[in-house]
Amino acid sequence: MEILKGMKSPLEMINYELEYEGVWFPPVVRPHCLEKLKTFEVREDDLILATYPKSGTHWMKEVILLMQHDGHVDKIGRETDLTKNLAMSFVLPQDTKRCILEEIAASPSPRFYLTHLPVQLLPPQVWTKKPKIVHLTRDPKDACSSMYRFLNSLARATNTTVSLELVYNHSFSEKAHFGNWFDHALGYWNHRDDDNVLFLTYEEMKTDLRSVIRRLEKFLGLTITSEGMERIIEHASVEGMKKTFAKIEEENENGKMYTRAFGLMPYMQKGVSGGWKELFTDEQRDECDKMMKEKLAGTGLDVHYH
């Protein structure tokens, strides 16, 4: 596949060395596109979904799309062209110089786009135009084990292997892509009281999706009917989304470009909280718990993660 050129294995993906303003990035990101963020024109009516990788980005995207259509899943327009699958931190294949950012710039309002960028690298106009920003994060142990599953699907496709140890060591290092989890989460957490920011967690979605939807409804200024709520709950469940994604893959020639990263690595996997328990050693668990205790102490985010 064209976009995978030069990115042959999980190991190469992890070892890719692009550092920009103290943050490390995966091979799909190019410095000239990061540079363009500085002058990117944000609009007041933009909606930005900002997440840490493997934290339920596509789940939240689906929830918001369902909410915008009162739960009518068949009314959602699906853009299976990767270049129009608007994610601010990503770029086009390496053989082209264009950035997806340019597609976003050319899109009509109201725009809805995604990013994994840490808060300090968001386009500066975010702080003057104040678009709505929904931020989603997830227990770092689960984000790490989800990344392992994700890279495993790349390993299978490239006839290589990947170990949890490799992914763990990378995820909790300063070279973690899009920034270390703690810096990323705390960066957005510090903006949790801004009027245009809604800070949410994967765990809240798993525990009580209805109340997350009601908070989003107020924040986004939408109206969800009670029947709409039932439809959203059904279609946003793991089973519901698997059905929807299977249908998109069946009915569209390029459907996999919508449901999998690079048409290859599925965004939908187990969809549970605590999946890390099956993968982590006791030492990894203890080390993580210690990091969380130390780095989150006194921040308030320790209410969610401890």
Residue 271 binds ligand A3P, judged by CB under 6 A: yes
Active site residues: 116
238 interacts with ligand A3P by CB under 6 A: yes
Rounded Cα gap, residues 231 and 108, in angstroms: 28
For the record, the structure tokens of 39 come out as: 């002058």
- Subset of residues 62 to 81 that bind ligand A3P, contact rule: CB under 6 A: none
CB atoms within 10 A of CB 206: 17
- Which is nearer to ligand A3P, 36 or 68 (by Cβ)? 68
Q: Which stretch binds ligand A3P (CB under 6 A): 1-9, 89-97, 192-200, 264-272?
A: 264-272
| Cis peptide bond prior to 26, omega within 30° of 0 | no
DSSP at 238: H
Rounded distance between C-alpha atoms, residue 212 and residue 228, angstroms: 14
Q: Contact between 93 and ligand A3P (CB under 6 A)?
A: no
Q: Which residues pair with 137 in a beta bridge?
A: 201
Q: Pick from 89, 115, 125, 146: which binds ligand A3P (CB under 6 A)?
A: 146
Q: Which is nearer to ligand A3P, 125 or 267 (CB)?
A: 267
**Using CB under 6 A, which of the segments 2-10, 55-63, 154-162, 220-228 binds ligand A3P?**
55-63
Q: 232: closest CA among 214, 250, 220?
A: 214
51: contact with ligand A3P by CB under 6 A: yes
Positive or negative, the CA dihedral 143, 221, 100, 179 is negative
Coil vs helix vs strand at 231? helix
Determine, following the binding rule CB under 6 A, whether residue 269 of this chain makes contact with ligand A3P. Answer: yes
Q: Binding to ligand A3P by residue 54, rule CB under 6 A?
A: yes
Residue 137 touching ligand A3P (CB under 6 A): no
Which of these ranges, 178-186, 190-198, 232-240, 297-305, lies near ligand A3P under the rule CB under 6 A? Answer: 232-240
